[in-house]
Structure 1
Amino acid sequence: MKKNNNNLVEEFSLRFLINRISIFFSFLKSQKNQIILSSISVLFFTISFNYLIKPKYYAKTSFVLDNDNSKGMGELSSVASLAGINPSSFIDASSLFQIDNIQDLYRSDAMLKKTLLSYGDFNDGKMLLINMLGKIQNKSDKWKANKIVFNKENNLNRIQDSIIKITTKKIREKNLVVTKPSRKTTILNVEFNHYNEEFAKIFNEKLVANVNEFYIKSKSFKTGINLNVLQKESDSVRNVLNNSIQILAALDESIPKLNPLLKTLKTPYQKAMVDVQANTAIFQELVKQLELAKVSHRNSTPLIQIIDSPVYPLENSKWKLSETLFYGSFLGFTLSIILQMILSLYKKL
């Protein structure tokens, strides 16, 4: 008996569902003219909106950062040990600017400010990016009226600093996106969006160049100083060694037939010989340290390899015609049905 009741309920539910679907399609058929007209109106509005609204352009740079110098440092340590040199003086264990905080470096006020005060080659000529941005935003005349002129060579005044600060904040919040696709890789994506295609591309390129240059200099700063010091010391000792060799040769020529019994006459020659030997030993040690310092400097200099860089035409937020037709038709059809159903219910009240 219970089984028969269940069958009746299922049959009733299915019949009810079919009936409601039939009523729904009958309703659509009765309102087809209004639905078609509304759908076309929404589609026309969607197409107009897509092509009249100014799109955003996306300039994106992807690069890989090879910052793993542990293998090179291990080889350097082995070579230094064989040469009898303490390798700790060449191995920098600093974790300065690891891949994770390079993202913050791209968003920093200092790097954004430096980029805004960099020159770019625009269609209107070579100019600072901040001046080009002011021109795009129709602020150039206002700045000139208030005698606000940005010049890379001059120090910024209080008003100029304020404009730069506000601009960098807006860029960081609305235009700049720095992402790392995976925690397991050392690939970074730097994306800058703007309504001006030319400005978006040039700003992205300048920002990447400025940050990467700063990063490389910072990573190799200590080893670079050490290398320069050793190079100067090596050159200085080389000059001293050359002079001592000249003195030794001159003394040797001054006493061609020295009496072996007159030992005091040998004293200047022997002193010069000691100087040559001492300077030679010092120079050899400095040369070893200099070569190791060069290897250390090369290993501490990170390799930044650009994978993708922005090229014209840039990607933009505007839909393609096929996408516009699809989304516009779907949106128009859906909204038209909802509107007709609401009107139908309102009439029944």
Structure 2
Amino acid sequence: MNDIKTDEITFKTIILEIKGWFNFILSKFKFIFLAGILGAALGVCYSLMKKDIYVATLTFALEEDNAGASGALGLVGQLGLDVGGGAGGAFAGGNLISLFKSRKMIEQTLLTDIAVNGKKISLAEMYIQENKWRDGWKKLPKIKNLKFLPYANRDSFTREQDSVLELIFKNLSAANLDVSQKDKKIGMISIETKSTNEHFSKVFTESLANVVSDFYIETKTEKSKINMEILQRQLDSIRGELNGSISGVAVANDRTFALNPALNVKRVPSVRKQVDVQANTTILTELIKQTELAKVTLRKETPLIQVIDRPIYPLKKERFGKAKGIVFGGFIGGFLAVMYFIVRRLYGILMKE
């Protein structure tokens, strides 16, 4: 019985305590309401000061004829020939998405050009101007005169230039650049860039797609290209040797024209040249076969990157509107006021104890 009474007293105490807190908060309603009004006003001011965010989206499809390349390599293997191979799965699946967000690709994109007021500047320079960083650099002699020219040699950059590029990269990759594959069953990848400058968002997105596309295709086909170039040089060399041997046969035949058939020694140079012609002909035929197979393999291994949707003006705009400012500002203002009164009352209770 004592336990039941104790439980009832405890439950009643909790109810009374909650009621007391509720009445206390209710008694401060006017102040909380005023704090909410102030927060709403600040929210409206913030919405007026905050710049609009422009969103550029580019979607492309990646198609690789891996089956065709494997079939070509299998055919070459049966013939006992070696025509090289591609880069394998170095950028397969999620690795390709990571490539888009890599520092190398983003920095290379930032050093491409963009037209601003009829003048070509780099995307990095435009980003600096848009965010007014140079205003804060005026008192910093080491960086106030930094320039980022279009297509500048990245290896020649100073420590300060590296630091600025690193900061731009972090700002873009942290929350303003999103690369994703919407559906894993479909090889379509979407690139989305956000910035306060509509022109920058559009050009950066398209430039990033071009930079990564060129790098990806070059890497995937590098081995096959090297092999084909070697075969082509050998083919040209043997063709030159064959032409020289054919000319040599003609010259030797002219020298032995109407020669006494009994004098066979005089015919040796002509026979040697004919052997050279036959040998070079066989080698040339084999090289032509290998070169053509190498060209087929190169075409098979070259991935097709097809742009589906490009960003077009006007871009999608994300705006922090007045209504949102009123709702969020009012809620935050009221919440902070409630927390203030709660902390203040708890402090008073603790001091009494």
Q: Which TM-score tier does this pair reach, normalised by the shorter chain?
A: 0.7 to 0.9
Partner of 1:215: 216
1:200-349 matches, cutoff 5 A: 200-318=201-319
1:71 Cα deviation (Å)? 2.7
With over 3 angstroms needed to count, the CA separation of the structure-2 counterparts of 1:93 and 1:51, relative to structure 1, is closer
CA contact (8 A) 2:217 2:303 kept: yes
With over 3 angstroms needed to count, the CA separation of the structure-2 counterparts of 1:288 and 1:80, relative to structure 1, is farther
1:147 Cα deviation (Å)? 2.5
Q: Does 1:103 align with 2:70?
A: no
Partner of 2:54: 57
Structure 1, gaps ≥5 residues long: 1-40, 343-349
2:273 is aligned with what amino acid? A
1:328 Cα deviation (Å)? 9.4
Q: Does 1:128 align with 2:127?
A: no
With over 3 angstroms needed to count, the CA separation of the structure-2 counterparts of 1:127 and 1:143, relative to structure 1, is farther
With over 3 angstroms needed to count, the CA separation of the structure-2 counterparts of 1:159 and 1:46, relative to structure 1, is closer
After superposition, the CA RMSD in angstroms is 3.2
> Per-residue CA shift, 1:146-184, capped at 9, x if unaligned?
322223435210111011111111111021100001111
Distance 1:143 1:45 in 2: 30
1:240 is aligned with what amino acid? E
1:69 Cα deviation (Å)? 1.9
3-state SS, counterpart of residue 220 of structure 1: helix
Distance 1:319 1:93 in 2: 46
Distance 2:55 2:164 in 1: 24
With over 3 angstroms needed to count, the CA separation of the structure-2 counterparts of 1:92 and 1:131, relative to structure 1, is closer
1:27-106 matches, cutoff 5 A: 53-75=50-72, 77-78=74-75, 81=78, 84-86=79-81, 89-92=83-86, 94-106=88-100
1:218 is aligned with what amino acid? T
Q: Does 1:153 align with 2:133?
A: no
Give the fraction of aligned pairs with identical amino acids, expressed as a percent. Answer: 34
> Given the two structures, how large is their TM-score scaled by the length of structure 1?
0.74
1:258 Cα deviation (Å)? 2.2
3-state SS, counterpart of residue 218 of structure 1: helix
How many pairs were matched up?
292
> Given the two structures, how large is their TM-score scaled by the length of structure 2?
0.74
Range that drifts further, 217-226 or 133-142: 133-142
> Per-residue CA shift, 1:197-244, capped at 9, x if unaligned?
111111111111111110000000000000111011100111111111
